[in-house]
């Protein structure tokens, strides 16, 4: 839930509050409304799934204590306040543990007396009346309803009412206090006792809160796991010695020692050493990644082999993990457009339920004889319906049943629990969806536009082919070409060197190296003059290369960069390099097709190169020769054809305008730079298959949201009229209310079983 206003940029501050009792959208609305009454408050974001309230405010106008008091005036206790995003995430976990412990304690304090009441009630009602039964029950129920068991509920209800609002606790208080007080009349008049019902309602409500808190903990397990993944301490070099410090005390530029098996304390760059790092927490890939000097590393990843010296480049709230946590929290606190109607109705839900409860009480008192056939009918198949009860008893039971069976919590949890599980599942796989709106839009995408370089292809040249002329062999040709290119800093030359080393070919040092502008390079390798370059280089050197011309043209037609090799004045062969297609690109595009999505490619490359790549991977439409500013026009053209169902996949930097223009912008290969403003979805790894996973995740998450909203509305629309007709006992009602909330959470948890990988081409309905 988001509300916004203006704050002064000079004194702008951000506050995170943990509000454990905020359990429904109605509760969140009350909290937001109370805070919004303060001067200087800007954006307010609430998440009932994580009990978190983020407030942006003008520190010169208001302060954290004023905001805390505003929340308390709305009827809710504030567990903790933090100003740093990462600390707040850790505090949320601690708060959840404290709240769960409190809920367990309240439940036990209520459950023991209530159990004793049940044990006394059965023989009293069905066998032999117990002397002093009413007094015993009243004494046992008192601590359940009025002290530690139900006191927090009544306090919250009172604060809410004094603030001229009504939250869920108002319904529970009205459902438990009047039955207890009415039951005391039994000391003066012979009547049905309601005291047992007051204790039972309170106890089942506390049981529901406890189970709901545990279930929410399971729903937020993924993000809490991320929070706890980071290292707590780091070994750094200080004044020539190794010193262990807390990660919170690290400074940018500190050189950290990361030994085998240890976690990288914070984001940095390798200064010395080489190893393989387990980056599964970031990318979702279990295969360790090779790293060496100059390579960036992500905090909390695990060093598998050699010792590394790593210079810290990001600390605190700027680290990869902190950014991921913020993005996931942002998604969890957002709304999907489909829920707007539900929110409007939920805001008026509690007052409407109170009105229905009063109406039910009055109607049964006034029209008892007319309505009594309903009880006779219900008694035929509902064991708790007793048609022999009197007018006042039935009126009271129906009114209380309406209060306790109504469940705005189920409606409020429908979206955030699904978003919490979905966003957590995505974070585990390196798929970060920024908002609920992006989820709803992404599920309906009809066309995905892919940038070529770095999205479909690797984004860097690689050696693809080696051809030897008559009298030479491929190893000799590649050895000579790599040796000369080793003296060059050109990316194409470096790709030849890398390709030779990958093939196990020795690269000797070159003598008399010379770069010839716009033509190539030359040098002496083992005393033999070797030239590597274009036709022009060999032509100007008087070297005949006609025998290689057909192969040279074929490479060029395939979109590759081909270079001729000459050794001691003779054409020796050709080496070709190209920006090669990523291993998973073809399968990923096939998976998009299986989802019913058309795939287009936009690139600044020429038509011939673009077509060659498109044919390799199965792209449907090619837009070649498009300059960066022209990509926005390309997206607009597709939107005219496909409507608001166009997604753009790019690197998030060069393609930022196109990502913003698209209905869903997807930044791929973000690495540690996950907070890309232009992107609605950020993919940590560069694998195109993650696009498929993002779309599958959006469809699965939205499906759960729709299911949750449907069942929550169906439950309330069906249960409240049944309760008003006297066909539901309040004890059954409070159990049903608890079950409805748990069913929403449980259905959301089924998302964890969703199959998202691109290899699974059959659609799975989780």
Rg of the chain in Å (alpha carbons): 34
Q: Are 456 and 601 in contact (CB under 8 A)?
A: yes
Single out the residue of 450, 754, 368, 485 nearest to residue 616, CA to CA: 450
Q: Residue 471 burial (CB < 10 Å; 0-12/13-18/19+)? A: exposed
Record the tokens describing residue 241, joined without a space: 């010695």
User: What is the strand order of the sheet 308-312 is part of?
Assistant: 241-246, 233-238, 255-258, 308-312, 268-272, 296-297
| Helix ranges, 595-729 (H) | 607-617, 630-642, 656-661, 689-724
Instruction: Yes or no: say if 728 and 719 are a contact pair by the CB < 8 Å rule.
Output: yes
Residue 562, strand partner residues: 576
645 DSSP assignment:
-
**DSSP-assigned states of every residue in 247-314:** GGG--TTPEEEE-TTPBP-SSEEEEE--EEEE-HHHHS--S-EEE-TT-EE-TT-EE-SS-EEEEE--
Q: List helix spans (H) across 127-220.
A: 133-146, 151-162, 168-183, 195-219
Distances, alpha carbon 521 to alpha carbons 200, 249, 463, 513, 560, in Å: 88, 50, 17, 7, 19
| Cα distance between residue 525 and residue 511, in whole Å | 7
* CA atoms of 4 and 54, how far apart (whole Å): 12
The DSSP bridge partners found for residue 649 are 450, 666
d(CA 550, CA 406): 80
- Contact residues for 664 (Cβ-Cβ < 8 A; gap 6+): 438, 441, 442, 445, 646, 647, 648, 680, 681
Residue from 412, 435, 214, 230 nearest 329 by CA:
435
Question: How does DSSP classify residue 646?
Answer: E
Tell me the C-alpha to C-alpha distance, in Å, between residue 62 and each of 36, 54, 83, 88.
Answer: 11, 15, 15, 20
Determine the 3-state secondary structure of 577 from DSSP.
strand
DSSP string, 658-684: HHHHSSEEEEE--TT----TT-SEEES
Q: Taking a C-beta distance cutoff of 8 angstroms, is the pair 79, 88 a contact? A: no
Q: How many Å apart are CA 406 and CA 404, to the nearest integer?
A: 6
Q: Report d(CA 640, CA 632) in Å as an integer.
A: 13
User: At 213, is the secondary structure helix, strand, or coil?
Assistant: helix
Tell me if 217 sits within 8 A of 96, measured CB to CB: yes
Q: For the chain, report the end-to-end CA distance as a whole number of angstroms.
A: 26
Question: Read out DSSP for 21-53?
Answer: T--SHHHHHHHHHHHHTSTTEEEEEEETTTTEE
Nearest of 462, 530, 457 to residue 494 by alpha carbon: 462
- Give dist(CA 584, CA 95) in Å, integer: 42
How far is the C-alpha of 302 from the C-alpha of 98, rounded, in Å?
31
Active-site amino acid positions: 451
């Amino acid at each position: 839930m988001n509300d916004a206003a203006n704050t002064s940029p000079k004194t702008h501050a951000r506050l995170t509050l943990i509000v454990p009792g905020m359990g429904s959208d109605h509760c969140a609305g009350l909290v937001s409304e109370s805070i919004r009454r303060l001067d200087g408050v800007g954006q307010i974001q609430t998440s009932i799934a994580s009990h978190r309230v983020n407030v942006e405010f003008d520190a010169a106008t208001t302060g954290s204590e004023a905001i805390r008091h505003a929340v308390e005036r709305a009827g809710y206790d504030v567990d903790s306040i933090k100003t740093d995003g990462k600390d707040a995430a850790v505090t949320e976990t601690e708060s959840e543990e404290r709240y769960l412990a409190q809920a367990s304690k309240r439940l036990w304090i209520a459950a023991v007396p209530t159990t004793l009441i049940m044990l006394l009630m059965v023989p009293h009602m069905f066998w032999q009346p117990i002397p002093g039964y009413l007094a015993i029950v009243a004494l046992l129920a008192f601590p359940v309803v009025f002290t530690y068991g139900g006191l927090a509920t009544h306090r919250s209800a009172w604060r809410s009412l004094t603030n001229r609002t009504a939250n869920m606790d108002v319904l529970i208080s009205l459902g438990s206090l009047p039955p207890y007080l009415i039951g005391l009349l039994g000391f003066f008049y012979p009547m049905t006792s309601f005291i047992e019902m007051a204790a039972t309602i309170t106890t089942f409500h506390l049981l529901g809160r406890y189970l709901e808190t545990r279930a929410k903990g399971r729903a937020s397990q993924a993000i809490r796991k991320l929070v706890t993944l980071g290292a707590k301490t780091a070994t750094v070099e200080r004044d020539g010695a190794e010193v262990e410090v807390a990660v919170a005390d690290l400074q940018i530029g500190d050189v950290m020692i990361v030994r085998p098996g240890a976690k990288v304390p914070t984001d940095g760059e390798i200064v010395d050493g080489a190893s393989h790092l387990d980056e599964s927490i970031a990318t979702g890939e279990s295969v360790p990644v090779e790293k060496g000097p100059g390579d960036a590393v992500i905090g909390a990843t695990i060093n598998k082999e050699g010792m590394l010296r790593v210079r810290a480049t990001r600390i605190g709230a700027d680290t990869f993990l902190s950014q991921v946590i913020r993005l996931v929290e942002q998604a969890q606190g957002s709304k999907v457009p489909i829920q707007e109607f539900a929110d409007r109705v939920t805001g008026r839900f509690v007052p409407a339920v109170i009105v229905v409860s009063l109406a039910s009480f009055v109607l049964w008192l006034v029209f008892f004889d007319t309505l009594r056939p309903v009880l006779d009918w219900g008694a035929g198949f509902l064991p708790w319906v007793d048609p022999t009860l009197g007018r006042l008893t039935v009126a009271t039971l129906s009114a209380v049943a309406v209060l306790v069976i109504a469940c705005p919590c189920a409606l409020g949890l429908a979206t955030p629990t699904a978003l919490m599980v979905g966003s957590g599942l995505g974070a585990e796989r390196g798929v970060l969806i920024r908002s609920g709106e992006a989820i709803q839009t992404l599920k309906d995408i009809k066309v995905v536009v892919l940038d070529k370089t770095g999205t479909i292809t690797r984004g860097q040249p690689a050696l693809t082919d080696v051809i030897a002329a008559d009298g030479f062999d491929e190893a000799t040709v590649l050895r000579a070409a790599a040796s000369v290119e080793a003296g060059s800093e050109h990316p194409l030359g470096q790709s030849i060197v890398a390709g030779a080393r990958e093939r196990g070919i020795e690269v000797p040092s070159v003598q008399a190296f010379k770069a010839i502008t716009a033509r190539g390079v030359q040098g002496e390798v083992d005393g033999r003059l070797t030239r590597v370059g274009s036709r022009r280089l060999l032509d100007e050197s008087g070297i005949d290369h006609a025998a290689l011309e057909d192969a040279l043209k074929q490479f060029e037609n395939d979109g590759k960069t081909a270079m001729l090799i000459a050794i001691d004045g003779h054409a020796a062969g050709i080496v070709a390099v190209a920006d090669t297609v990523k291993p998973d690109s073809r399968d990923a595009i096939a998976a998009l097709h299986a989802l019913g999505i058309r795939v287009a490619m936009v690139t600044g490359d020429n038509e011939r190169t673009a077509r060659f790549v498109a044919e390799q991977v199965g792209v449907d439409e090619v837009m070649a020769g498009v300059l960066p500013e022209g990509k926005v026009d390309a997206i607009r053209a597709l939107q005219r054809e496909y409507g608001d169902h166009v997604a753009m996949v790019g690197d998030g930097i060069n393609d930022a305008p196109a990502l913003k223009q698209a209905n869903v912008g997807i930044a791929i290969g973000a690495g540690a730079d996950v907070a890309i403003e232009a992107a609605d979805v950020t993919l940590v790894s560069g694998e195109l298959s993650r696009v498929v996973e993002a779309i599958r995740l959006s469809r699965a998450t939205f499906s759960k949201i729709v299911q949750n909203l449907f069942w929550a509305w169906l439950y309330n629309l069906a249960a409240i009229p049944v309760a008003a007709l006297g066909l539901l006992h309040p004890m059954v009602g409070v159990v049903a209310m608890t079950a409805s909330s748990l069913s929403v959470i449980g259905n959301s948890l089924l998302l964890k079983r969703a199959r998202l990988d691109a290899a699974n081409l059959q659609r799975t309905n989780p």
